[in-house]
Structure 1
Amino acid sequence: MALRFEHRDTEIDATIVDRVWRTRSDAEDTMTSAARTSHHLIISRTHGRLLAGLRGPETRATIAPVPPDTEFLGVRLALGTVLRPHPAASVVDGYAPFPVTDSGRIVIGGGDWEAPTYENVEHFVRRLQGAGLLVRQRLGDEEHVGGRPEAGPSARTRQRRYRAITGLSQTAVTQIDRANAAATMLRDGHDWPTVVGTLGYFDQAHLAHALRRYIGRTARELRAGDRAAMSFLYKTRPRPGS
């Protein structure tokens, strides 16, 4: 089985939502879920049953089960976007399910919401924003007073704030994003010396270790177009950690 992901940009501010995607499984199987820095709102439908939840960042590649005959809809949130009922640290390497009412509405933050489709998911996101549940937290280093940048908090304080918002350290975000960028380049046909030189890995061994940990694939498998099922993970930012 090879899951085929359809994805698109969205009219919503890119600082809130990075991408909308969908896919469908035909048979029960497993897939490689690569490490990622973003949170995903995920809605699935199988045999008339609706499931919804928030999947947090993943700090390493894992093997995930794929149920049969299931449609998946995902909203990939931009780094720094927070769903207020669920602190980032509570869903790192985890999943927070949302209750679903008998009428098929999704319960988030004490309110119930109509389940979105791939075509109208922007309306769902905007309603969460309007209710103050989906918000963008500033990750920048500067504090602004009276419209002018002033001396900000200490580096340690900024690091704690960054982890509190994203659930990850800045170092982890950079490493995960860089591995995703490396996987993209290899799948696009670049050889490992080019990837090492472009992305700043020390050598082939350093790259190979990162791919095993974060992507769950070797450079050879990626360049050969390995067709085993993998999560949609590539091309989230112009460069690692940006």
Structure 2
Amino acid sequence: MSGLGVEETMALRFEHRGTELGASVVDRVWRTRSDAEDTMTSAARTCWHLIVSRRRGCLLAGLRGPETRATIAPVPPDTEFLGVRFALGTVLRPHPAGSIIDGHVPFPVTDSGRVVIGGDDWEVPTYENVEHFVRRLQDAGLLVRSRLREEEREHPGVAGPTARTLQRRYRAVTGLSRTAVAQIDRANAAATMLRDGHGWRAVVETLGYFDQAHLARALRRYVGRTTRELQGGEHATMSFLYKTHPVPGS
């Protein structure tokens, strides 16, 4: 397991890690537990998540789609959460990303505590065995990795019909445009830099924002926090921020 990390907010302590599957399939695995009822600011994300929660013996599972803006979500008390963030371009065939933009799809759960995906029931993954769960979905043909990266390398800087075809393909696979992916990734990287102690000028210069006002608008829309809040350690409950590649959309 690579890239172990811990991030804390006022009420939630996120533990997260990479996987041996490689970043082309699963971007990150995370878990947390809520001790009290609260609300959480969920930052915009370009990828979809599998979310599993357990509360007082009740198991819930489902997909949370890519999010195009920061939102406020309720956090129930005494609940354990497991999240699997799949890499951009990974496709769960019964539920393409475009069908769950800014949305959530619940999965049926059997009486024996198994989750139903694609008509079959599956053992619910744990933080430790996510890799096994993902490989089984791949073996069943339900989870596939698109050729977005390969197609972009094969047709660099193209224009005309081929470019339009690639753009349609990109949106069909991810549910988002390249521009939206770049803007969301950049805002997440900016928020991470600010929480790591960098000043706004360094963020603007590094990530290519026009000025402080441009950065502030992006943070409000995609992260739901101001520069001052992120720099000052005012960690109200929010989805955890982990480092993205400095090149948006990559």
TM-score normalized with structure 1 length: 0.94
2:219 counterpart (201, 208, 211) = 211
CA drift of 1:230 comes to 0.6
Matched, 1:192 2:187: no
User: Is the 8 Å Cα contact of residues 45 and 72 (structure 1) preserved in structure 2?
Assistant: yes
Question: Using a 3 Å threshold, how does the CA distance of structure 1 residues 211 and 142 change in structure 2: closer, same or farther?
Answer: closer
CA contact (8 A) 1:32 1:61 kept: yes
Taking the aligned partners of 2:66 and 2:200, their CA distance within structure 1 comes to 27
Structure 1 runs, 4 residues or longer, greater than 6 Å off:
none
Cross-structure match for 1:9: 18
1:85-104 to structure 2, matched below 5 A, reads 85-104=94-113
**2:124 alignment counterpart:** 115
State yes or no: 1:232 paired with 2:240. Answer: yes
Select which of 41, 45, 50 maps to 1:36: 45
Match of 2:210 in 1: 202
How many residues of Structure 1 are paired with residues of Structure 2 in the alignment? 238
Q: What's 1:54 paired with?
A: 63
Q: Aligned ranges for residues 92-171 of structure 1 at < 5 Å?
A: 92-140=101-149, 141-142=151-152, 154-171=162-179
Q: Unaligned stretches of 5+ in structure 2? A: 1-9
Partner of 2:247, secondary structure, is coil
In 2, Cα distance between equivalents of 1:125 and 1:162? 23
TM-score by length of 2: 0.91
Work out the CA distance in 1 between the residues paired with 2:40 and 2:59: 21
Structure 1: gaps (5+ residues) = none
Corresponding residue SS for 2:115: strand
CA 233–56 in structure 1, closer or farther in 2 if over 3 Å, else same: farther
Aligned-pair distance for 1:207?
Answer: 0.3
Query: Are the counterparts in 1 of residues 207 and 246 from structure 2 also a CA contact under 8 Å?
Result: no
Kept in 2, the 8 Å contact 1:36–1:233? The answer is: no
Between the aligned partners of 2:152 and 2:220, the Cα distance in structure 1 is 36
